[in-house]
Each structure stands twice: as structure tokens, then as C-alpha cells.
Structure 1
Amino acid sequence: MITADRILIVLGAVIIVLMTYPLFGFTGNPEQLIAGDCRIIYGAAGPKAEFQCRELLLQEHGLAAPSW
């Protein structure tokens, strides 16, 4: 028998999976994940803001040389 407890447990598990699953093209490549995150957050602000976001995150994760 399906109870409310079981429905809540399954719903919670589905929400956790969906929240941790990357939204844009997961290939195991951290640079692609960063690009997807920046596209979500700064996409409406324009390409310059999106590019700056990518550069900062790549530097923080040690994936790019500092530009200064």
C-alpha cells in the first residue's frame, strides 16, 4: 500500500537528484559545468558578464592561468 510517507521519501529523493544533476550538458568536464552555471546566472546580463563569471570560476578552481 502506498502511504504518504513513501510518497514523500520518493519525492525527496527525486528532488535531490534533480538539484544535483547539472542542467547543461554534463560531460564530466568541469569547464562545461562552469559555463552552464554562468549561462544560467548571468545569461540575461549579457555575454560580458557571462565571460567574466567563467574566468573567475576557472581561476578559483585552478583551471586557468590568472589574466593579470
Structure 2
Amino acid sequence: MNLPRNVGKTDRHVRFAAGGVLVFGGIASGSWIFSAIGLVVLATGFLGTCLAYVPFHINTCKEGEE
């Protein structure tokens, strides 16, 4: 499966930070739902692909980042 790279550098950094906060916040509070959402956010940052962006044709990658 060839997924389009549509998450730019700044977007990835924000996703890593937000995902980390959600995962650790979920662990600290005992809420598995926050941890699961955080893992999805971290995965989209790591893979560089956000499937929610695809139907709206959103691409935060700058020229040459792909």
C-alpha cells in the first residue's frame, strides 16, 4: 500500500509533541482512550501520512520534503 506523504516537518513536530503528551497523560490518569489517541497521533507523525488529510487534499509538506 503506497500512502501519500502529506505531513510536513512542522506538522510532524507538533504531532510528536501532542502525541507524547496524550500518551503520558493517558498513562498518568489511567485513561486508555487518551493513550490510544496519542499513539495514533504519534503514528501519523512517524509515517508522515495523515489519512484524514487525503479526502480534503491537504498537504503540509513543502516543496522537496516528500
Query: TM-score normalized by structure 1?
Result: 0.33
Would you tell me which structure has more helix in proportion to its own residues? 1
Whose RCO is larger (CA < 8 A, sep 6+)? 2
Query: TM-score normalized by structure 2?
Result: 0.34
Bigger Rg over Cα: 1
